[in-house]
Structure 1
Amino acid sequence: MQLNIFTVLIFALFAEGHSLKCYQCTGLLGPCEKKETTCPSGDAVCASQMTVQFNGAASTNIPIKSCLEPKMCFDGSVNYGIIRTTTTTQCCNTDLCNSRDVSDSSSNNLNGKQCYYCEKDSCFNKLSCLGSEDHCIKTKVNSESLSVTIKGCASKSMCDAASQMSQVYADVSCCEGNLCNSAKSITQNLLILLSGPFLSYITFH
């Protein structure tokens, strides 16, 4: 009986200290070559993600595998007019369970919503939102020499993820009504893409 209790205690201690192992890779420049990694957080899950970046008629698929916080396991898209990024994510909680790639499940169908977006020197342009883009988004980035605002359509999940990072990277706000992100002229645009759950600052336009 004492041996059984000892065995149970050892198992419990091992399970408490066990860190999840996941595949990790980013297919930015080619195939996603998987490597094993141990998640730093005890509550992390394994994620397999497909990010698709649309630039006009061209599109680029970016597979990503990683450890991820459970709250970051979501699907969605953000659309700044010329640039649109969609994300499809599948999460699991056993070792190396994210081996399979994920297919893009986003919709390109018009959903009837409109938001303002910025192009060249004007933010008076109207954008028809697609798929799950049920919010209008406005992002303001401040630096020492430049203050930049960009606008468009976004899924609620993308708004929630961006707002969690907004104090570090930018001032992000979302709203639900048609054209609720207001029209305002600007002098320059900054293209900001949501790559899965991460904000990537790409380039000045």
Structure 2
Amino acid sequence: MHLLTLFFGTVLLHKAYTLTCYECPMGSRGTCTDTQKECPAQCAAIRVTSYAGGSKLVDAHMKSCAAALECGEGSINFGVAKTVITSKCCHSNLCNTQPVPEPSRFSPNGRKCFQCDGQTCTATLNCEGNEDHCISTTVKVGGTKSTVKGCASKMVCSNTAAAELKDTVGGDFSCCEGDYCNSASSTSAGLLLLVTPLISLVMFS
């Protein structure tokens, strides 16, 4: 009897705490309300915006499920290139209908990290907005590995986001807290290698 009660209780609780959300792949256009999926916690509309040299390179939208740490706004900033991930979460069936607005305008927040400039990673990058971590990652492009460094938000450095970035970039990835904690080792990263991991974040889900 107890086993039967436990079984039905588990099934009913699962149904009670499962939401139906809209699901659209990254890069979708329009309202994108054709596909639905079951989500365990909350729905989300997500926007990924990438900039390089002051110009917007990518502005992509998607809809899906989201964990608590994936809600809000976070960024990863390598100086010449930056990506902002904005997630608007909600907690009712099919609530993720509206697109996410433009990301915030960021101002320097006083934190400082190393960034790569030419052949070395000794240049200072002034972190912006909620970028409260320094980041160091190895980028693999065409069989060549190079290191890139910069600033990142806590959301980007969370376990879920870090795993996504590591899989996408195909290299090592680490975050740390404290000014200049991402060390100043040399590298051979060029502009293309700095931009590549940011564009790759369009695959973030």
Q: Structure 1 residue 138: deviation in Å?
A: 0.4
1:140-165 CA distance string (max 9 Å, x none): 24689432211101111211144344
Name the structure 1 match of 2:118: 120
**Identity among equivalent pairs (%):** 34
CA RMSD of aligned residues (A): 3.1
Number of equivalences = 188
Name the structure 2 match of 1:150: 148
Q: Helix, strand or coil for the counterpart of 1:158? A: helix
Name the structure 2 match of 1:55: 52
Unaligned runs of 5+ in 2: 1-7
As a proportion of its length, which structure holds more strand?
1
1:46-101 CA distance string (max 9 Å, x none): 10122221222212432221122333223211101111111221212322110012
Name the structure 1 match of 2:92: 94
Measured in 2, the distance between the counterparts of 1:11 and 1:156 equals: 36
Measured in 2, the distance between the counterparts of 1:28 and 1:95 equals: 23
Output the TM-score relative to the length of structure 1. Answer: 0.75
Q: Is the 8 A contact 1:107 1:132 kept in 2?
A: no
Q: Structure 1 residue 12: deviation in Å?
A: 8.8
Q: Is the 8 A contact 2:139 2:197 kept in 1?
A: no
Output the TM-score relative to the length of structure 2. Answer: 0.75
Please list every run of at least 4 consecutive aligned residues from structure 1 whose deviation after the TM superposition is greater than 6 angstroms.
none
As a proportion of its length, which structure holds more helix?
2
User: Given residue 198 of structure 1, which amino acid in structure 2 is its aligned partner?
Assistant: F
Unaligned runs of 5+ in 1: 1-9, 200-205
Measured in 2, the distance between the counterparts of 1:144 and 1:85 equals: 22
1:80-134 CA distance string (max 9 Å, x none): 1111111221212322110012223534111112211123332222211111111
